[in-house]
Amino acid sequence: MRILHTMIRVGDLEKSIKFYTEVLGMQLLRSQDYPEGRFTLAFVGYGPESEGAVIELTHNWDTAAYELGNGFGHIALEVPDAAAACAEIKARGGKVVREAGPMKHGSTVIAFVEDPDGYKVELIQR
């Protein structure tokens, strides 16, 4: 068994694809409309789905926004240098909500950015 993907619901698919591809550097791997169900699925990641887990962006055509709730935590990405990644993300128009630094009660260097729908993405320095 292996993890295939994490699904998140997004209000503006175009804006979300732009964030994950242009700001975080992922690739749009595939996208498909389901007109009868009035939704679109788009899969983004750093490599082929056959080689690693990806993110499924689900856009329900009749829903403009979602409440995030308090059950979902975040998506985590490994980066070589969290501070440099934050600077690059800001330069690409991304929103850093916690600058790079040691995690509370630990020494691992982390940072957090936020996608257009408010989902948190943690950057963990290798």
36 carries an active-site annotation = no
Q: How far apart are CA 78 and CA 9, in angstroms?
A: 23
| Cβ neighbours of 79 (radius 10 Å) | 21
Q: How far apart are CA 103 and CA 115, in angstroms?
A: 21
Q: Which of 22, 49, 78, 122 is catalytic?
A: 122
Q: How far apart are CA 6 and CA 72, in angstroms?
A: 11
Q: What is the side-by-side order of every strand in the sheet holding 54-60? A: 5-9, 54-60, 39-45, 27-34
Structure tokens at 51: 């080689």
* Residues identified as active-site: 122
